């Protein structure tokens, strides 16, 4: 009898544990838009894309079996979507010849892309909570703008068909293709038989920047949506982006960009914890969102602020695009325009965000499959130099240090863009650094030295405990080390020593000690003309005149708290 009861308890316990696991698993489970997606490869194999950072995949999907939780939304019938367009003939018109290298022309596996044909089901990679977010019923329509140069027919057609299949038809006003002087004009022309698709062909190679400006000029909808020519948009990709732009026309929004494998065309979910960043050479990279932001995100459907966008896939209000000066049309072929646009949007009154409930797949490649008439390196330097010269103010010196080869290379006139910046009354790059991208550190060895003047005197340190105001001595290179300061936020350095407070209370002395980025007593930031200790909130004060400097309550314009940095050149 006792054994029976023990068995019953054991069975109940096991059932309870299994039930709990099942419940937790249900809660974590991604939805799928297709039964065939069970054959999708597993994600998590982080691969490096040349010239691009590792794309971190979202591990939460890795070992979870894919199960149908809702019937896929009925996707529109063929005929409705593509009208009389003969897609078979279009695809068969260009076929890989037996023995040809399938990577040669497009830097991805063309045989695999062709095998997939014009459309396929892909896994819905959004967080499951995205499916229950509601959007306005009367969202404004958009013009989709796709520029391409010698794109493969199968990838281009899949891009277009995925848009037609997975967007509410009322939101797609038109799809404008800009054929950037591809070898075969029919690649584009034939596609204009598809309802809503228009084709504009450049009379010469312009590059993606001028091509997009042309496309935007021809657009008739109030909202612009840019896509690369080798994408597949995912379930409900468009509504979240149009909603955000409708609510505030100064927002420029991007989806999470999923990865379409360049080898086998598997559709892989990208991590939802990344934003766009860069280093001083103006090299784009994906980076983790800062930990404080991550901790405060209790709703995975909310937008992620991003310092820069990858560049290819974004939605923007058309009047805002025009008001902000479209693009810098003196940039050629490829590269740099995403920085120029990102700095401009932030500094001139807008914002950039990534919307986790919008997902678009893109084939990331390891090399450019097309030629650069002026050469790849020179073109990238020209474009990024233009971005740095127009937008980065004194911070451009770090760009030149990181990319010494850029010095002296031609970049054309930037007069028009400088006028634009003035006319739009844009903020400084310093503002951008402080408010949008404080995580971008200034390279320490390059930090400029300044003297810190107060009245006619300079802040001087003669050893650890001997700080004070002294007569400013020497000029330029012959300034004494004891009066040279490097403001490498949050540190105030003199070589390996940093200014630190001795206690967190008003009246405490300051001293010099070995630098440590983690030491809260060493953290300072400018507050108007004053230097504020970040943790105590107190300001560096030279009072009393005889004794060593202390920290006191910040008071605006108090003479003994004013420290004027003067660059040593
Ligand atoms: C990324 C962006 C891309 C662009 C670029 C920087 C994504 C997914 N992609 O590079 O949109 O911002 O960074 O400039 O964020 N194209 C032309 N004419 C040309 C060269 C290219 O029309 O002379 C087209 C090309 O066919 C493609 C698009 O421009 O549709 C972007 O080129 P890519 O795919 O080679 O750039 P990608 O994805 O490496
Ligand atoms: Mn691309």
Asked if residue 131 has pLDDT above 70, the reply is yes
* Residue 335 in contact with ligand 1 by CB distance below 6 A: yes
* Residue 228 in contact with ligand 1 by CB distance below 6 A: yes
User: Could you read off the pLDDT of 243-286 as tens digits, one per residue?
Assistant: 999 999 999 999 999 999 999 999 999 999 999 999 999 999 99
* Residue 113 in contact with ligand 1 by CB distance below 6 A: no
Report the mean per-residue pLDDT for the chain. 87
Phi (first) and psi of residue 522, to 5 degrees: -105, 5
- pLDDT of res. 18: 56
- pLDDT of res. 489: 79
- The fraction of the chain above a pLDDT of 90, given in percent, is 71
Q: What is the mean pLDDT of residues 327-353?
A: 98
Q: Which ligand is nearest to the CA of 311?
A: 1
Burial class (CB in 10 A: 0-12, 13-18, 19+), 37: buried
Q: What is the distance in A from the centroid of ligand 1 to the CA of 282?
A: 16
Report how many helices (DSSP H) and strands (DSSP E) the chain contains, helices first: 15, 24
Please state, in angstroms and as integers, the Cα–Cα distance from residue 197 to each residue in 153, 213, 556, following that order. Answer: 15, 18, 60
User: Could you read off the pLDDT of 461-496 as tens digits, one per residue?
Assistant: 987 678 888 899 887 767 888 899 988 878 898 888
* Residue 312 in contact with ligand 1 by CB distance below 6 A: yes
Asked if residue 79 has pLDDT above 90, the reply is no
Per-residue HEC secondary structure of 258-274 comes to EEECCCCCCEECECCCE
The CA radius of gyration of the chain, in Å to the nearest whole number, is: 29
- pLDDT of res. 367: 97
Beta pairing class for 491-494 and 497-501 = antiparallel
- The three-class DSSP label of residue 216 is helix
- pLDDT of res. 518: 82
CB atoms closer than 10 angstroms to residue 39: 9
pLDDT band (50, 70, 90) for residue 545: low
Q: What is the distance in A from the centroid of ligand 1 to the CA of 128?
A: 30
Separation CA 347–CA 418 (nearest Å): 13
- pLDDT of res. 478: 79
The pTM is what? 0.74
Q: Which ligand is nearest to the CA of 376?
A: 1
- pLDDT of res. 58: 34
Q: What is the mean pLDDT of residues 9-19?
A: 60
Sign of the dihedral through C-alpha 53, 58, 62, 66: negative
Q: What is the distance in A from the centroid of ligand 1 to the CA of 89?
A: 27
Q: Which two tokens stand for residue 383?
A: 């474009």
pLDDT band (50, 70, 90) for residue 556: confident
Q: Which residues, at least 6 apart from 496, have a Cβ–Cβ distance to it below 8 Å?
A: 514, 515
User: Could you read off the pLDDT of 301-310 as tens digits, one per residue?
Assistant: 999 999 999 9
Q: What is the mean pLDDT of residues 104-121?
A: 97
User: Could you read off the pLDDT of 168-224 as tens digits, one per residue?
Assistant: 999 999 999 999 999 999 999 999 999 999 999 999 999 999 999 999 999 999 999
User: Could you read off the pLDDT of 386-430 as tens digits, one per residue?
Assistant: 999 999 999 998 999 899 899 999 999 999 999 999 999 999 999
Q: Which two tokens stand for residue 324?
A: 């902000």
- pLDDT of res. 384: 98
Separation CA 244–CA 530 (nearest Å): 39
Q: Which atom of ligand 1 is nearest to the CA of 230?
A: 30
- The three-class DSSP label of residue 364 is coil
Q: What is the distance in A from the centroid of ligand 2 to the CA of 312?
A: 7
* Residue 338 in contact with ligand 1 by CB distance below 6 A: yes
- The three-class DSSP label of residue 342 is helix
What value of ipTM does the predicted structure carry? 0.99
């Amino acid at each position: 009898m006792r054994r029976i009861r023990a068995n019953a308890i054991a069975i109940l316990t096991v059932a309870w544990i299994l039930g709990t696991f099942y419940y937790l698993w249900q809660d974590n489970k991604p939805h799928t838009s297709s039964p065939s997606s069970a054959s999708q490869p597993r994600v998590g194999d982080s691969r490096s894309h040349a010239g691009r950072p590792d794309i971190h995949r979202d591990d939460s999907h890795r070992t979870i079996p894919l199960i149908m939780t809702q019937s896929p939304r009925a996707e529109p019938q063929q005929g409705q979507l593509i009208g009389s367009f003969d897609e078979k003939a279009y695809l068969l018109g260009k076929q890989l010849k037996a023995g040809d290298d399938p990577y040669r022309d497009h830097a991805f596996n063309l045989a695999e892309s062709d095998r997939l044909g014009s459309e396929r089901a892909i896994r819905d990679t959004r967080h499951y909570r995205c499916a229950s977010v509601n959007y306005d019923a009367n969202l404004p329509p958009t013009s989709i703008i796709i520029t391409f140069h010698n794109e493969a027919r199968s990838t281009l057609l899949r891009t277009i068909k995925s848009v037609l299949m997975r967007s509410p038809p009322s939101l797609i006003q038109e799809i404008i293709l800009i054929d950037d002087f591809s070898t075969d004009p029919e690649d584009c022309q034939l596609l204009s038989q598809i309802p809503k698709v228009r084709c504009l062909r450049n009379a010469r190679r312009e590059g993606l920047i001028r091509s997009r400006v042309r496309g935007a000029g021809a657009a008739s909808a109030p909202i612009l949506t840019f896509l690369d020519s080798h994408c597949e948009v995912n379930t409900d990709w468009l509504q979240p982006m149009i909603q955000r732009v409708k609510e505030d026309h100064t927002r420029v929004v991007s989806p999470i960009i999923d990865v379409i494998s360049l080898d086998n065309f598997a559709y892989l979910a990208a991590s939802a914890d990344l934003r766009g960043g860069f280093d001083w050479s103006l090299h784009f990279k994906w980076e983790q969102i800062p930990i404080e932001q991550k901790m405060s995100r209790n709703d995975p459907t909310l937008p992620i602020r991003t310092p820069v966008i990858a560049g290819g896939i974004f939605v923007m209000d058309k009047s805002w695009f025009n008001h902000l000066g479209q693009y810098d049309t003196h940039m050629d072929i490829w590269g740099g325009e995403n920085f120029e646009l990102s700095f401009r949007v932030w500094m001139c009154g807008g914002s950039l965000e990534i919307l986790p409930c919008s997902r678009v797949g893109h084939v990331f490649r390891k090399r450019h499959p097309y030629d650069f008439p002026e050469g790849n390196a020179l073109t990238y330097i020209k474009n990024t130099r233009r971005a740095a010269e127009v937008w980065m103010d004194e911070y451009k010196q770090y760009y030149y240090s990181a990319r010494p080869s850029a010095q002296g290379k031609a970049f054309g006139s930037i007069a028009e863009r400088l006028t634009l910046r003035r006319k739009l009354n844009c903020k400084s790059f310093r503002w951008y650094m402080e408010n949008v991208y404080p995580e971008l550190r200034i390279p320490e060895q390059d930090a400029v030295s300044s003297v810190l003047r107060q009245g006619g005197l300079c802040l001087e340190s003669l050893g650890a405990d001997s700080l004070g105001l002294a007569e400013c001595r020497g000029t330029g290179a012959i300034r004494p080390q004891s009066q040279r300061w490097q403001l490498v936020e949050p540190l105030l350095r003199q070589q390996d020593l940093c200014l630190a407070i001795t206690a967190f209370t008003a009246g405490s002395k300051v001293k010099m000690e070995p630098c440590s980025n983690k030491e809260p007593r060493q953290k300072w930031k400018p507050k108007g003309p004053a230097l504020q200790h970040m943790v105590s909130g107190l300001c560096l004060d030279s009072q009393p005149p005889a004794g060593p400097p202390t920290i006191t309550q910040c008071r605006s314009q108090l003479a003994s708290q004013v420290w004027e940095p003067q660059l040593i050149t």
